[in-house]
Amino acid sequence: MIQYGYAGGGCGECAAKAVGGISLVALIYGQLLLFKIILFGAMLALAAQNRFVLTQMLTENQELSKHANIVRQLQRNIIAEQMLGALILSAVSVLGTLSPGQPSP
């Protein structure tokens, strides 16, 4: 029986037991899905820092030495975002080959 939710149960608890009462983290599919979600969160955090912190600092600082440091940090963050995106695509490609109910070896 698949549990979607019940009174008094948390959303995390429902997600953890979404596959026939088996903990999703006990499955290779669930572990990979969790890994992908964590990578996506890290990618969003970098994107937010780039957009709301570093680009704001670029517009405010006219001093050339500070400007160069900010640009270098922005370049590093963009490279890190691209690497995270590649890892996410890799995780999704593996997820596509797995069955959600397949137990870990």
CB atoms within 10 A of CB 104: 10
Residue 8, domain member (yes or no): no
pLDDT digits (tens, 9 = 90+) for 3-30: 444 444 454 554 555 555 667 788 889 9
Q: What is the DSSP letter of 19?
A: B
Q: What is the DSSP letter of 104?
A: P
Residue 9, domain member (yes or no): no
| pTM for this predicted structure | 0.72
Q: Which residues pair with 22 in a beta bridge?
A: 19
Q: Rounded to whole angstroms, how far apart are CA atoms 71 and 78? A: 10
pLDDT digits (tens, 9 = 90+) for 38-80: 999 999 999 999 999 999 998 887 787 888 899 999 999 999 9
Instruction: Give the domain extent around 36.
Output: 27-95
Q: What is the DSSP letter of 102?
A: P
In a 10 Å sphere around its CB, with 0-12 CB exposed, 13-18 middle and 19+ buried, how is residue 19 labelled? buried
| Structural domain count of the chain | 1
